[in-house]
Structure 1
Amino acid sequence: MNFNYFKNIAGTVTLALLLVIAVNGFAQNGNSDENESIYRDFKTELMWKANVKIGTMINVGESKRGTRRVIPITGGTFSGPKIKGEVLPGGEDWQLVRPDGDTELYARYLMKTDDGTVFQILNKALMHAPAPREEGGFYVKSVIDIEAPVESPYDYLNHAIFLGTLEMPQLKPNEAPYVIIGVYKVL
């Protein structure tokens, strides 16, 4: 075996590793203030608000992760500056009330625009109600994944990150239960 051959390979690998470490260190440290500043003040654009009708909650019960429950999505409507339509029945909101009291929501449902295009919504949310004497108020926010047909006028929905809000309105007598979901594109 040729010892110099292995020595040259080891030297080349060491030099390559040092170069990678130097480049990564420069990229991470050289512009850290500039990189952090682009995330300080996120800007969003309202895409739509949806009035999502919900059915009677199914209490699955205690699990190893907390209390599991499912809420059927029975329909609704949505409207925004560039889009409107209906929430199709058949979706569900799977919820987990964790041992710490927070609730994780995972909703999956379909929406249909006025021109007949159907797309899928996956809405993952966290709901936190403050304990007595805890600072801050009620908190609920979500991350929304939208899957629209690629050859539709709504393909642009496949190329962005969306955040969501959830409101639970005070129902009027004999009014069917619903929630209001706001969908915002991160610019």
Structure 2
Amino acid sequence: MTLPPPALEHVCDLAVTIAPPVEVGQTPAGLRRMIPITGGTVTGPRLNGTVMAGGADFQLILNSGTQAHLDARYVIELDDGSRVFVQNTALRVASLENSQRIMNGQPVNPDEIYFRCQPKLEATAPQWAWLSDSQFIGSGRRTPDGVYLSFYRVL
């Protein structure tokens, strides 16, 4: 028996600013990079606030550079002062040419990049408990100076 697909509720959009990558290098697991998160904004129908500086996106680059496994961890400060811890894992797949452009900080056509994420949100205040009690998915777009994300609550 197949169950109906879950509905999605748009929660927010994030514009995350980043610093230049820290190249860790080739490890037995693959190419490792760390992208410092320097700030950003959160706007949307359910969440509004800022991305606090101090987070980072830890990347594992595979398949000659065409596949990136991302693990970003950062804190959002909501407009009411509450804080939310975010751990966002993602998969970004692109052609070799586009992957090299991304790694070199050059723009790419976002329509040519598969970038999907599974953010996990941990709330600190009771009014935001639903964030910890829900599943989320999202879409992403990488630009030379930042990352744009849209988060959706799975209903």
Same fold (TM over 0.5): yes
Matched with 1:144 is 119
Aligned pairs for 1:11-22 (under 5 A) are none
Partners of 1:157 and 1:113 in 2: how far apart? 12
TM-score, reference length from structure 1: 0.70
Unmatched 5+ stretches in structure 1: 1-32, 172-176
Write 1 or 2 for the structure with the bigger share of helix. Answer: 1
4+ long deviations beyond 4 Å: none
Matched with 1:88 is 52
RMSD, matched Cα: 1.8
Aligned pairs for 1:100-111 (under 5 A) are 101-111=66-76
Partners of 2:44 and 2:71 in 1: how far apart? 23
Q: Percent identity?
A: 32
Partners of 2:7 and 2:55 in 1: how far apart? 30
Partners of 1:72 and 1:168 in 2: how far apart? 14
Matched with 1:182 is 150
Unmatched 5+ stretches in structure 2: 98-110
Matched with 1:64 is 28
Please list the CA deviations of residues 38-69 of structure 1 after superposition, one character each: whole Å capped at 9, or x if unmatched: 2xx33211100011000110010000011100
Specify the SS of the correspondent of 2:130. helix
Q: Closer, same or farther in 2 for the Cα pair 1:73/1:115, shift >3 Å?
A: same
CA shift at 1:144, angstroms? 0.8
Pick aligned residue for 2:3 from 26, 29, 37: 37
Q: Is the 8 A contact 1:105 1:125 kept in 2?
A: yes
Larger RCO of the pair (alpha carbons < 8 Å, separation 6+): 2
Q: Is the 8 A contact 1:65 1:99 kept in 2?
A: no
Partners of 2:96 and 2:37 in 1: how far apart? 29
- Corresponding residue pairs, total: 141
Partners of 2:7 and 2:152 in 1: how far apart? 9
Partners of 1:185 and 1:64 in 2: how far apart? 36
Write 1 or 2 for the structure with the bigger share of strand. Answer: 2
TM-score, reference length from structure 2: 0.84
Structure with greater Cα Rg: 1
Matched with 1:165 is 139
